[in-house]
């Protein structure tokens, strides 16, 4: 029979999962500004209370006087960080638009063609239920 986890072991494991999730969010391709919203607002990263008790590089290398100087530098650079984030967001949106547009199938209709129109959920008759028709028409192309 395996030994059950103590509360501190559970807490430590939960903290590690939280930190890994935060790291994933910061470095994920779905996050185009490559940082936390806190950094974009205040110019520096924050250490969450869970991280203070864990031995990591940020905590061990902390120097109060260097920290104040670095905060001033970060505040001076905040406009550049925000501009960089805006540019990344614009590139990301353009990439998403190109990928979406690549999936769209162009269709050309000639005058006189008969076509069907898809029925949306908003215009679908609820009395028909889910087995009702998905298309209506046939319509003739005139222009």
Same domain, 47 and 87: yes
Same domain, 30 and 92: yes
For residue 64, the model assigns a pLDDT of 76
Same domain, 66 and 125: no
Least confident of 14-18, 29-33, 97-101: 29-33
Same domain, 121 and 61: no
Per-residue model confidence as pLDDT tens digits over 74-102: 788 888 888 888 899 999 999 999 999 99
- Residue 138's SS3 state is strand
Query: How far apart are alpha carbons 66 and 72 in whole angstroms?
Result: 10
Same domain, 46 and 89: yes
DSSP label at residue 130: G
Q: Using pLDDT thresholds of 50, 70 and 90, give the confidence band for residue 30.
A: low
Mean pLDDT, the chain, integer: 77
Residue 115 lies in a domain: yes
- Residue 34's SS3 state is coil
Over range 57-78, report the average pLDDT: 77
Q: Domain total for the chain?
A: 2
Residue 1 lies in a domain: no
HSE at residue 74, side-chain half, CA atoms within 13 A, is 15
Q: Please indicate whether residue 53 or residue 7 has the higher confidence score (pLDDT).
A: 53
Q: Please indicate whether residue 7 or residue 142 has the higher confidence score (pLDDT).
A: 142
Per-residue model confidence as pLDDT tens digits over 103-140: 988 889 999 999 999 999 888 988 998 899 999 999 99
Residue 90 lies in a domain: yes
Same domain, 99 and 124: no
* Buried b / exposed e along 86-113 (16+ C-beta atoms within 10 A): eeeeeeeeeeeeeeeeeeeeeeeeeeee
Same domain, 92 and 136: no
Over range 46-71, report the average pLDDT: 71
For residue 94, the model assigns a pLDDT of 95
For residue 1, the model assigns a pLDDT of 45
In which domain, by residue range, is 130 found?
A: 108-143
For residue 22, the model assigns a pLDDT of 59
Same domain, 68 and 94: yes
Same domain, 92 and 132: no
Q: Please indicate whether residue 14 or residue 116 has the higher confidence score (pLDDT).
A: 116
């Amino acid at each position: 029979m395996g030994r059950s986890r103590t509360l501190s072991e559970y807490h430590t494991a939960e903290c590690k999962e939280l930190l890994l999730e935060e790291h994933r969010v910061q470095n994920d391709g779905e996050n185009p500004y490559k940082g936390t919203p806190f950094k974009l607002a205040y110019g520096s990263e924050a250490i969450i209370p869970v991280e203070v008790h864990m031995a990591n590089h940020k905590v061990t290398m902390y120097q109060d006087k260097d920290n104040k100087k670095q905060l001033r530098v970060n505040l001076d650079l905040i406009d550049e960080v925000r501009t960089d984030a805006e540019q990344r967001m614009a590139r990301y949106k353009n990439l998403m638009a190109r990928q979406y547009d690549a999936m769209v199938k162009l269709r050309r209709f000639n005058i006189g063609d008969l076509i069907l129109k898809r029925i949306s959920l908003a215009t679908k008759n609820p009395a028909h239920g889910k087995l009702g028709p998905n298309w209506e028409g046939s319509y003739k192309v005139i222009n």
